[in-house]
Amino acid sequence: MAPAIATEPRKDASQAEAARVAAGQAARAADAAGQVRRGRPSDVFGGELRRRDVFSLMVFHLIARSESGASYGNQLIEQIETITSGTVSLNPNTMYPLLRELEGAGFIEGRWEHPEKRSRRMYTLTDPGREEYARLRTALEPFLDRIVQSITLIKAEIYGGGGRQPDSRD
């Protein structure tokens, strides 16, 4: 006789959606109160909301610093990979939904480079986008400083202050 397999009861879709809505409302309330949202302690970027904040900040920054004042999705992906020496690699399934979300919120405006061909969608910052960029720059700097400090402490703990320590195989 096969052993019984214990299964966890599944939340139905409406309960899951209600939980997502409640989490979103709590996050917005925390933002309005100026509180820092945190993810799981093991998640260095502080959870999905923080990752999206950091990526939004990067998008705003890269568009603002571009010579033409406009950038397109693949260009932004490549620039983020270059800036981070390949440590952060976004794929189009992350970048394009983020761009659509930022456009829907009115932070960026997208226009087809060649409307008759729909070749590339060029994004520019709007006035609300420049305000959000300034807000995120201020709000995320302490968070980014904590990440740098944490990674530095981890490295120092493992490798010591002067770099990599030899292990027993060296």
**pTM of whole model > 0.85?**
no
Q: Give the count of beta carbons closer than 10 Å to the beta carbon of residue 70.
A: 19
* CA-atom Rg of the chain in angstroms: 21
Q: Which two tokens stand for residue 169?
A: 């195989």
**pLDDT score at 115:** 84
Given pLDDT bands bounded at 50, 70 and 90, which one contains residue 126? very high
Distance of CA 91 to the CA centre of its chain: 12
Q: Is residue 80 classed exposed, middle or buried when 0-12, 13-18 and 19+ CB atoms within 10 A define those classes?
A: buried
CA-wise closest residue to 75 among 136, 108, 122: 122
Q: What is the mean pLDDT of residues 131-160?
A: 92
Q: How many angstroms separate the Cα of 115 from the Cα of each of 6, 118, 129?
A: 56, 5, 23
- All structural domains of the chain, each given as residue ranges with its CATH number in brackets, are 44-155 (1.10.10.10)
DSSP label of 86: T
CA-wise closest residue to 137 among 72, 59, 85: 59
Q: Which of 29-33, 104-108, 154-158 has the lowest mean pLDDT?
A: 29-33
**pLDDT score at 6:** 44
Whole-number Å distance between alpha carbons of 112 and 117: 8
Q: Which two tokens stand for residue 68?
A: 């033409």
